[in-house]
Amino acid sequence: MWTAITREVSPALAGCELSFVPRSPIDVVLARSQHAAYCRALESLGCGVIQLPALPDYPDSVFVEDVALVFDEVAIATRPGAESRRGEGDAVHEVLGSLRPLLRIETPGTLDGGDVLCIGKRVFVGISARSNEAGRAQLRELLAPYGYTVEGVATRECLHLKSAVTQVAGDTLLVNPAWLADASPFAGYRMIEVDPEEEHAANAVRVGDAILYPDCFPKTLARLHEAGINVTTVDVSELQKAEGAVTCCSLLLRTATTA
């Protein structure tokens, strides 16, 4: 079965860090309603949802993906590239530590979970403003005993690697090629390109054989349907104003079932 770790929306969401989207008014009440619907959608796809309470002093804390990485064998506490976010992870790490051995990225490394895309035993890490070479090197060392490889992927004009590419099926990626400075690391995968008019449309959450996807990208959604991808849509418009996306709002991990 799947477990999803989430966190309620902070009342300070409007004070979020922004890099590539303009600041605009955020309706926090609506953001909370949308987040609740997002959690229900995860449940409908077979996830047991663990929801942590909001952190009033951390505007970006709803985006739990950035503070940790989860693999079948181990979890890793990251060190976010934005200094303002480095106090968000304690409760997340406590939960993960009860489910996996917990390792850590240490100074001077920085690593945002949004920059990490794992496909089987291949781990792709965005070369971005939020994740540095020291962070990638530490991740490579931490994962080597478990048989994972780690390779950098240069991005441009976007916050994280998973702003530009996510996995939507076993051998299939959803990609905005304009935001990848070098797509060669993904040679060999089938690629579905986002519609050029929907540049933010490459971010999707994969849960088993289904994906959870924003409802505001109809042209790219049609391409997913044409490719035979099973899609559940959600409205995350207020979270998108905070430069968030559907992957950002949860940490997904496979958990063993008991007989």
Catalytic annotation, residues: 160, 248
User: Cβ(10)–Cβ(55) under 8 Å?
Assistant: yes
Residue 148 token pair: 């994972």
Q: Nearest Cα to 252, choosing from 202, 212, 192?
A: 212
Q: Nearest Cα to 86, choosing from 103, 106, 67, 68?
A: 67
Q: For residue 51, count other CB atoms closer than 10 A to its CB.
A: 15
The CA–CA distances, whole Å, from 149 to 120, 142, 244 equal 10, 10, 27
User: Cβ(68)–Cβ(93) under 8 Å?
Assistant: yes
CA 52 to chain centre: 17
Q: For residue 98, count other CB atoms closer than 10 A to its CB.
A: 9
Residue 18 token pair: 């922004």
Contacts of 224 (CB under 8 A, 6+ apart): 168, 174, 192, 204, 211, 213, 231
